[in-house]
Structure 1
């Protein structure tokens, strides 16, 4: 209808025009697209089947990924049913490698009687079958501390219950010192009335030992160490102002069994990744070695006092300390991916001896009275790093402070507090599941410490 006619028609004409426009519009599209309900139902079933196939494919991919993880994770566990020293989550591969590669002397993970932790779906390794945990209960994990390349005498990990370790070892130490003694008095600083004695002492010590450790429980072990010691000393001296410049050499040596030691260690807590382990220890040292008061001393009548004669040096070197000793200690290990920090603190108490006397030349005996060696306060610390699944490297420092020796309750003249500091580097390599070789090199940092020390250990697990 033309616009003038619509306007002349008024509201009635406008309404009629709008109804005509709506009637001419196209109808809305059919959502079903003209398909019947049966066709829509068939299409829905096809979509559901395709979704199920996609879910099955995703499940297969997850299973394949889990199988690949299972092929890698067992490399972090030793073979032949040996568990890890500490349970390591699969998502921490670097920490797991560090805990596995840092292997030392003590009860190695191969000595644990239970089989290793197995990832889900993997065939069990050889060894006794563990008891199945109750439904809803997590399997027990090995809570023993990790191992590190050994630097100090006490190992960081304990022997498992019912297992034992035999460890042959060899240690070499060399030290040298120079001493200038002024015997006399001075009138003026440039004039000496008396004797100037210059001495150079070189000491070599070889120690072969057999150590046995037995696991009383999974947290307690007993250790017995039997050493055999060979020592040789060479003293080169030159007395000045005596009309001669000839050097005199005094050589002596000694070989015999050393002081047998018995130790007990107990793990105090459950540690883990980023959680410290604490191990308490108690060592008892006997006096089975050759007594320093039993060897003949190079003195004609006496070696102390104003009428001393002779060099005062032993003709045969002792192989033991001559005193019983008790040493409590506390060791800690802190695994922190990818390293392991460790250290210990100890105190050696030496039991005093009464009515002590020593033998001089011609079978004469010199009375010494009561002898009380000073206590030894020691501490050490270090860090261990895994190079791969078999080799590890450790760096550490060991320090001991020895107090003065007393005779009849009075400090011995010339006896002072002695500080011994040693810088250590250790290397460990696992030969197989039962044997590991450990090499440690030490360098003395103080004058009284041996210049160099070298030790080799070969723990064998049974």
Structure 2
């Protein structure tokens, strides 16, 4: 997926975090404060009001925007499948200029198993680490195969500067550092499709906004990502050898809403777009090339199913809207308890 590879691969909903706590705690802990927002959103015995349901389901649907209490740990497993089909123009640079060689189809089927852990540093500050395990089948002209590898590990944090209140918008600042632990696309046979990582370190900063308008939760987000260069390369591309790659910065935004159909079912719809500036490539013979700007847009639809007071299973489907987006993605989110 190319939404910052998007860090994320699909963010189907922005969470409502009005109590600075996870959904599991909201079901088992009696509120100890008389604060109006806590009282309004706390689920009382025998109640099934839409606001409480939205809070719980959205927390599970996209827990990366949730905050948990100080000292608590939450684990989550995400399973995602994506398909990318492209027609790739293969070119090369010679002394006479740019030469067209061929147009070939490139198809990739990617299964990502992601394990993540959240730790409450403070009631309004949550740290996060994610470990993706990737299985990828790629088929190109003259090559096909399966690769299994660790993806890019991420370290993140979410900070809520103000106490959330029922009648005001909630703000959450996010930061994420992605480490190039996956198989780099610059250290494999060019065009083989065997990469499972981005090959460069990246730092993302963002802001998420959400507001409850019963029985709907509205949300939006903006983020910017910068990349470190990939240096010391020795990858053969056509008749040239690639030595250095500097990806351009990426700006992204998203909007959407979640709606509680019943006490056990919630739906979400969201749209995300990312615009990435062209990358700068440097070859061994001194040639410098800048690639074109890429725009990736994805429409996501999600369904949350409450199977127990503490567990909500979440399913999502994403549809690529631009040539630079994955054609199709399917996701499942499962909270883990130990």
TM-score normalised by the chain length of structure 1: 0.58
CA contact (8 A) 2:31 2:39 kept: no
In the alignment, is the contact (CA less than 8 A) between 2:236 and 2:242 conserved in 1? no
**154, 157, 170: which is aligned to 1:277?**
170
Report what 1:444 is aligned to: 320
Superposition CA RMSD, Å: 3.2
Aligned counterparts of 1:371 and 1:346: Cα–Cα separation in 2? 22
1:173 corresponds to: 82
Q: Is the 8 A contact 1:148 1:394 kept in 2?
A: no
Out of 129, 132, 147, which is 1:227 matched to? Answer: 132
Q: Which has the higher helix share?
A: 1
For residue 431 of structure 1, report the CA deviation from its aligned partner: 2.0
> Structure 2: which 5+ residue stretches go unaligned?
1-24, 93-98
1:448 Cα deviation (Å)?
A: 1.6
- After superposition, the C-alpha distances for 1:360-418 in whole angstroms (9 at most, x for unaligned) are 89xxxx753332011111111111111122321111101011110002498635x2101
Matches within 5 A, 1:242-253: 249-253=142-146
What is the rounded CA distance, in whole Å, between the counterparts of 1:403 and 1:438 in structure 2? 33
Q: Of residues 54, 71, 85 in structure 2, which corresponds to 1:162? A: 71
SS in 2 for 1:349: strand
Q: Please list the CA deviations of residues 44-71 of structure 1 after superposition, one character each: whole Å capped at 9, or x if unmatched.
A: xxxxxxxxxxxxxxxxxxxxxxxxxxxx
- CA shift, 1:82, in A, is 5.8
Partner of 1:197: 102
1:198 Cα shift?
Answer: 3.8
Q: Is the 8 A contact 2:316 2:331 kept in 1?
A: yes
Cα distance in 2 for residues equivalent to 1:148 and 1:202: 34
Cα–Cα, structure 1 residues 202 and 353, in superposed 2: closer, same or farther, change >3 Å? closer
Return the alpha-carbon distance in structure 2 between the equivalents of residues 229 and 387 of structure 1: 34
Task: Give the structure 2 partner of residue 337 of structure 1.
Answer: 214
Distance 1:164 1:261 in 2: 17
Distance change in 2, residues 1:104/1:356 (3 Å): farther
Match of 1:80 in 2: 28
- Alpha-carbon shift at residue 279 of structure 1 (Å): 0.5
Match of 1:392 among 266, 277, 287: 266
User: Matches of 2:127 and 2:301 in 1, distance apart?
Assistant: 27
CA contact (8 A) 2:88 2:103 kept: yes
Question: For residues 18-54 of structure 1, what are the alpha-carbon distances to aligned partners after superposition, in whole Å with 9 as ceiling and x for unaligned?
Answer: xxxxxxxxxxxxxxxxxxxxxxxxxxxxxxxxxxxxx
Larger-Rg structure: 1
How far apart are the structure 2 equivalents of 1:166 and 1:450? 27
Over 3 Å counting, the alpha-carbon distance change for 1:382 and 1:292 in structure 2 is same
Alpha-carbon shift at residue 419 of structure 1 (Å): 0.5
Deviation, structure 1 residue 175: 1.7
Q: Report how far residue 98 of structure 1 moved.
A: 2.9
Equivalent residue number for residue 320 of structure 1: 197
Change (3 A) 1:82 1:430: farther
> Aligned pair 1:150/2:101, yes or no?
no
Pick closer, same or farther for the CA change 1:280–1:196 going to 2, 3 Å. closer
Q: How does 1:342-353 map onto structure 2 within 5 Å?
A: 342-353=219-230
Residue in structure 1 matching 2:151, options 239, 258, 269: 258
Give the strand-richer structure, 1 or 2. 2
- Is the contact between residue 53 and residue 263 of structure 2 (CA under 8 Å) also seen in structure 1? yes
- 8 Å CA contact retained: 1:208, 1:227: yes
Give the direction of change, closer, same or farther, for the CA distance of 1:360–1:176 in structure 2 (3 Å limit): closer
Instruction: Report the equivalent of 2:179.
Output: 286
**Taking structure 1 as reference, are residues 83 and 225 closer, same or farther at Cα in structure 2, changes over 3 Å only?**
farther
- Deviation digits for residues 73-110 of structure 1, max 9, x if unmatched? xxxx95432659952549xx9xx8333222568xxxxx
SS of the equivalent of 2:52 reads: helix
Aligned residues: 298
